[in-house]
Structure 1
Amino acid sequence: MIKEIQLRVSLPEEEQDPDLTRRAALHLGEDVSNINGIVVLRKSIDARKKIVVFNYKIAVYINEPLPQESEYKFDYQDVSKASKVHIIGFGPAGMYAALRCMELGYKPVVYERGKDVQKRRRDIKAINQDHVVDEDSNYCFGEGGAGTYSDGKLYTRSLKRGDVRRIFENLVFHGATNEILVDAHPHIGTNKLPKIIQRIRETILQYGGEIHFETRVTDFILRNDAITSLILNDQDEVAVNKVILATGHSARDIFELLHRKKVTIEAKSFAMGVRVEHPQHIIDSIQYSCDGERSELLPAASYSLVQQIKGRGVYSFCMCPGGFIVPAATQSGEVVVNGMSPSRRNNKFANSGIVVEINADTDLKSFEKHGALAGLEFQKNLEQLSFTAGGKSQTAPAQRLTDFVDGKLSDTLNETSYQPGLHSAPLHSLLPKLIGSRLRKGFAAFGHKMHGYNTNEANIVGVESRTSSPVKIPRTETLEHPQIKNLYPCGEGGGYAGGIVSAAMDGERCAEAAVGGL
C-alpha cells in the first residue's frame, strides 16, 4: 500500500529529530517496521510566523517496494540520416526543441551565435575584469543561453503549458540532483548548470544531431511567404524546411531583421528597473525572525514583493539569495545588470531585480516612430544612459537604497558582489519618471511589508532591463508564424515564455508542431 500524506515539522523539531519515516509511522498509526521507505514528493518552508515550519508531502510505502527508477524515459533515436529541423538558438527553448526532435525521429540542426560553455567562460571573465563585451558571447549569448550563468531557477507558474515534471526529469537525466524534483522553488546553481548543459549537447551529438557554435543567422530567404533558407555569418546559405526561432529576449538583431523584411512582429509590454542588493543576513533576519545566524537547516532566505503604484505593478524579479550581480550587456556602450546564485547560495549578499511594468500601448509614445521596436529602443536608451552614468565602462551606476528613496546622491556606496564595480550616481533623477518615481514609492512600501528592508546598508544598481522581450513574434494555434510558413517563433524571444522551464516546455511544443507538418 502507498499512502500520500502531509507533514508539518517545526524547525526545532527538525533540528532535534529529522527522521521523516518515524514521523510518517506516527501520523498513520503504523508500525515503523512495516514501512519500507518514503519518497518526498514536495518540500517547502513556511516562514510567515516566528517559528519556521517545513511542509512535506510524502509517499509512504507500507509493505510495498520502493520504486527503483523514474517513470519518465527519454528514448532518443539515431537521427543522423533523418529529416532535418533547423533551430536558431541553443538556450532552454532550443535545447529542449532539439531533444524532442530526436525523440520524434527528426534531426535537429542548431545554430548558436555564441560559444560553448567552456569557451564562453573566457568572454564572461573579460566583461567582468576588463569591461570588454563580446557581442556574440556573454551572459546572454552562448551555449545554454542566459540561463547557463544564472541561478538556474526552475520555479514556474506555467503549469498548463506542458509537463513540468518531464522538464525536471530530463535535467536529472543529464546530471541535475533529485532535489529539483522535490523543492517547491527548485534551482540548480550557476556552478552546476554548465556541466548539465554540456551533457545535453553531448546527447544531441551522440544521436546524430548537429550543433554549430559561433554561427550567427544574419538573414532569412523568403519565397512565396515561406522561409526557404538561412544566411549564416553573412556568407553561407543553407536550405531549410522547418525553422524553430529560439533566439532569446536579447537577440535584437533578429527583431530588427524581421522588421526590416516586413515580417509581422508586435510591440509587447515588459518591465524595467534596477537591481537591489542587501547583505544576506538582513534578509535572513527579516524572513526567519532570527537575530543571529540562521539555522544550518534553512537556506538563504528569499522574498517576493509586489505593489501597485500609479496604475503599474512594481515587483521583485529573479530574486537571488546568496548570489551575485553580473554584467549582462550584449553590446558595447550599454550597462545591463542581472543576478545569479551558486547551488549552495552561500554568498554574503542577496539581490533581486525590482522592476516596473511598461505598457507598450501607453508608455512609449516618444518612441512610437519605431513601431513594433519601440520597447526595444526604450531599452537601448536606458542602457546607454546607465553606461554613461556609470563612467562609460561596465562600472554600474548605483545609490544607497534609502538615499534613492529620499532623492539624494550617495557620498559612499556599500560593498557589492558586482565585479566590475559601482559608481555613485543620482538614479532617482536619471531614471525616467515612469520608472524612477514608482520605484521610490515601491521601495518605501516594501519597507513597510518587510521591516528592515528599506536600509542604507543596501545598494540599488542600474539597470535591470532584460526581464523579458519587448517584442512579440506572433504565431497561430499551430505555433507557426501567421505570415511566414515553416517559421515557428519560440520561447522568450518570441514572447511565449518567462524562464528556463516555460521556455523548455515551449521548445518541446514547437518541435512537436514543426515535425507534425513534415
Structure 2
Amino acid sequence: MTKILRYRLKPEIALDEASFAAFVHAKLGDTAQWKLLKRSIDARSKRVSVEVEIGLSEKGENPRPFLYEKPTNHVANKPEVVIIGAGPAGLFAALRCIELGAKPIVLERGKDVQERRRDLAAINKEHKVNPDSNYCFGEGGAGTYSDGKLYTRSKKRGDVTRILEILVAHGSDENILVDTHPHIGTNKLPKVIADMRETILSRGGKIHFNTRVEDFVIQNQEIKGVKIQDGSIVEGIGVILATGHSARDIFRLLQKSGIKIESKPFALGLRVEHPQTIIDQIQYHCDSRGEFLPAAAYSLATQTQFEGKQRGVFSFCMCPGGFIVPAATADGEIVVNGMSPSKRDSKFANSGIVVAVENEDLQAYEEEGDFKALAFQAEVEQNACLAAGGTQTAPAQRLVDFVKGRISTNLPDCSYQPGLASVNMKEFLPESIYLRLVDGFKSFGRKSKGYYTNEAQVLGVESRTSSPVHVPRNRETLEHVEVKRLFPCGEGAGYAGGIMSAAIDGEKCAEKLIEAYLDIRC
C-alpha cells in the first residue's frame, strides 16, 4: 500500500533535482521506495513555495505504476475506421482503434510534422500561407506548433492520466505526470507526434498526408465513406470527424451534404505581450524569479457590460517565456496565437485576452444562418489584415495606447516574426469587442499591479479560440444526431478545448463507434 507524504518546500529544493533527492534521502533514508507524485507552485503569498506529494511504498510496490503499454496487436486486415484529421483527437482515436482491433485510416490535409516546418517558415519570412499546411493544419493539429500545453479542467470527461501516459510512452518527459500545469513544449512535441505516427503505422494503421476530403458519401442517412481530392473513395465501418476548429471548408461541405450543423458561441480578442520580467514580478512578488522558479504564468477574468449585455473577458492560452505566431489558414487574414518552447526561456510572456461572443450578439449576421459566428470571425480577421497592409504583418498597439484609443508612435520589441504595423485597432475591431477589452484591461491592471503598462503591447487578432460551428451528436452514442456512422469529434465539432480534452474525446468516439458497429464492449 502506498503512503502519501506531503511537503511544502522552497523552490531551490523542490525544483532542483539533486537538492530534492538529497531532501528525500534525509527524510526517508536509503532503502525507501518512493516516487514524486505531484508538484505545484504556490505563489499566493509573498514567499513562494512548492507543494509536493511523494508516494512511499513499504512493501516494494511501485508507488505510481505506469499502466499504459503500446498496442502489440496488428490490425492490417481488420475492419477499417476512417478518421478525418491527424490532430490530437484523430491520433488518439487511431491509437484506440488499434487497441480495440480496428484499422484506422487517417486522412490529413496537411503535411507531416517535419515537412510542415517549411510552410511555417514561409509564413514567417515570406508571408505566404499554404491553406493546407500552416500553424493550424498538418500532423499533430494546431497544438503541435503552438505550445503543447496539457492543462485541462476536463477531468470528468475521461482518464487524464492515461492520456499523459500515452504521451510519455511516445517520448514526452515524465514530468508531465507530476506537474499541476504540464507542458511539453513546441520544440519537443513534434517528436512525440512522429513517434505516435510510427506506432499507428507499425501496427497496421494508415495515415495519408496531403489528403483533403472533398465530399461525403451518404446513403439513406448513413455515411459510407469520403471522397478525397484525387476523386477516389475511402470507405469504412464509420467516420470520425476530427478536423479541428479552423476547417471552414469542411463546415461548408457538411452543410452542402445536408449534415446538420449549428452556429456556436466562441471568443474573440487580441494577444497581449509583456516582458516576462513584469509577469514574474507580479506573480512572484519579487524583483527577480531567480534560478529555480519557472517563467510565471497568469489567469485573469472579469465581467463587462455593453448595451445591457454582460460578457466575460478572460485570458486564453497564456504562454510564459513564449512567442506569438501567425495562425492564419489563408491569405488575406490575420490570426495570432501563442506558443512556448519546453524551457519557456523567451524574454516575453503572451496571452490571448478575449471576449465571449454569443449567438445573440450576431444579429447583423443572421442571413448567414449556421455560419453567422464564422462570418463574424472571418470578417474581423480580414479587416485586421487590411488595416496592417494586407500581408502577415500584424496590427499592434502599446497596451495603454490601445485603451486610450490612440495610435502608438513606436512599438517595443516583439516575438512575432512577420513584423508589426502600428495601427489604431479601434478602427477595425467591432465596438462591442473593443470596449469590453478596454474594460477588461483596466480591470486586470487593478487586480495585478504593473500589468497595465505601455511596456506591453497588443496584437490582433486572437480569433481561433474554439470552433464557431457545432456539429450536434447524440449525448450517449456520440453519433451525429441525423447521420448514422458519423462521429463528430474534438475541437472542430465543438466538444473539446485543447490537446487533452480533444485526445479524450477522440478515444471516446473510437470506443463508441467500435461498440456500435463491431459489437466490442469497451
1:55 is paired with a residue whose SS is strand
Q: Distance in 2 between matches of 1:54 and 1:238?
A: 52
1:3 corresponding residue in structure 2: 3
Q: Deviations over 1:346-371 (max 9, x none)?
A: 001000000000001x1111111111
Q: Distance in 2 between matches of 1:64 and 1:517?
A: 42
5+ residue gaps, structure 2, are: 518-522
8 Å CA contact 2:149, 2:184 repeated in 1: yes
1:200 is paired with a residue whose SS is helix
Partner amino acid, structure 2, of 1:315: F
Alpha-carbon offset, residue 71 of structure 1: 2.5
2:3 is paired with a residue whose SS is strand
Partner amino acid, structure 2, of 1:394: Q
Alpha-carbon offset, residue 236 of structure 1: 1.6
2:158 corresponding residue in structure 1: 162
TM-score computed with the length of structure 1 as normaliser: 0.96
2:486 corresponding residue in structure 1: 487
State yes or no: 1:503 paired with 2:498.
Answer: no
- Map residues 57-456 of structure 1 onto 2, 5 A cutoff: 57-62=53-58, 64=60, 66=62, 70-233=66-229, 235-291=231-287, 293-310=288-305, 311-360=310-359, 362-456=360-454
2:520 corresponding residue in structure 1: none
8 Å CA contact 2:13, 2:20 repeated in 1: no
Partner amino acid, structure 1, of 2:113: V
Partner amino acid, structure 2, of 1:298: L
8 Å CA contact 2:82, 2:225 repeated in 1: no
1:187 is paired with a residue whose SS is coil
Q: Deviations over 1:99-123 (max 9, x none)?
A: 0000001000010000001110000
More off after superposition, 143-152 vs 11-20: 11-20
Q: Distance in 1 between matches of 2:15 and 2:198?
A: 42
Alpha-carbon offset, residue 157 of structure 1: 0.3
Instruction: Go from structure 1 to structure 2 and tell me whether the alpha carbon gap of 1:11 and 1:208 turns closer, same or farther (over 3 Å shift).
Output: closer
2:349 is paired with a residue whose SS is strand
State yes or no: 1:470 paired with 2:465.
Answer: no
Alpha-carbon offset, residue 72 of structure 1: 2.5
- Map residues 31-50 of structure 1 onto 2, 5 A cutoff: 32-33=28-29, 35-50=31-46
8 Å CA contact 1:35, 1:63 repeated in 2: no
Q: Distance in 2 between matches of 1:305 and 1:32?
A: 40
1:322 is paired with a residue whose SS is coil
Q: Deviations over 1:410-438 (max 9, x none)?
A: 11111100000000111133210111000
2:361 is paired with a residue whose SS is coil
Alpha-carbon offset, residue 64 of structure 1: 3.3
Instruction: Go from structure 1 to structure 2 and tell me whether the alpha carbon gap of 1:68 and 1:513 turns closer, same or farther (over 3 Å shift).
Output: closer
Alpha-carbon offset, residue 18 of structure 1: 6.8
Q: Deviations over 1:51-73 (max 9, x none)?
A: 00101111123463546961223
Q: Distance in 1 between matches of 2:433 and 2:488?
A: 30
Q: Distance in 1 between matches of 2:410 and 2:418?
A: 17
Instruction: Go from structure 1 to structure 2 and tell me whether the alpha carbon gap of 1:12 and 1:234 turns closer, same or farther (over 3 Å shift).
Output: closer
* Corresponding residue pairs, total: 512
More off after superposition, 64-73 vs 382-391: 64-73
Q: Deviations over 1:234-258 (max 9, x none)?
A: 5222233200000000000011111
Partner amino acid, structure 1, of 2:447: K
Q: Distance in 1 between matches of 2:146 and 2:32?
A: 39
8 Å CA contact 2:35, 2:63 repeated in 1: no
Instruction: Go from structure 1 to structure 2 and tell me whether the alpha carbon gap of 1:63 and 1:224 turns closer, same or farther (over 3 Å shift).
Output: closer
Q: Deviations over 1:382-425 (max 9, x none)?
A: 00001101110000000000001111111111110000000011
Q: Distance in 1 between matches of 2:28 and 2:231?
A: 70
Q: Distance in 2 between matches of 1:142 and 1:383?
A: 21
8 Å CA contact 1:36, 1:65 repeated in 2: no
5+ residue gaps, structure 1, are: none
8 Å CA contact 2:320, 2:349 repeated in 1: yes
Q: Distance in 1 between matches of 2:247 and 2:346?
A: 31
Partner amino acid, structure 2, of 1:388: L
Alpha-carbon offset, residue 224 of structure 1: 0.4
| Paired-residue identity, % | 57
Q: Deviations over 1:3-57 (max 9, x none)?
A: 102211134665899755675688xxxx733752421111110111110010111
Partner amino acid, structure 1, of 2:487: Y
Alpha-carbon offset, residue 2 of structure 1: 2.9
Instruction: Go from structure 1 to structure 2 and tell me whether the alpha carbon gap of 1:478 and 1:16 turns closer, same or farther (over 3 Å shift).
Output: closer
8 Å CA contact 2:275, 2:347 repeated in 1: yes
8 Å CA contact 1:265, 1:471 repeated in 2: yes
8 Å CA contact 1:230, 1:240 repeated in 2: no
More off after superposition, 231-240 vs 465-474: 231-240
More off after superposition, 12-21 vs 54-63: 12-21
RMSD: 1.7
- 4+ residue segments displaced more than 6 Å: 15-18
Partner amino acid, structure 2, of 1:7: Y
Instruction: Go from structure 1 to structure 2 and tell me whether the alpha carbon gap of 1:193 and 1:61 turns closer, same or farther (over 3 Å shift).
Output: same
Q: Distance in 2 between matches of 1:68 and 1:446?
A: 40
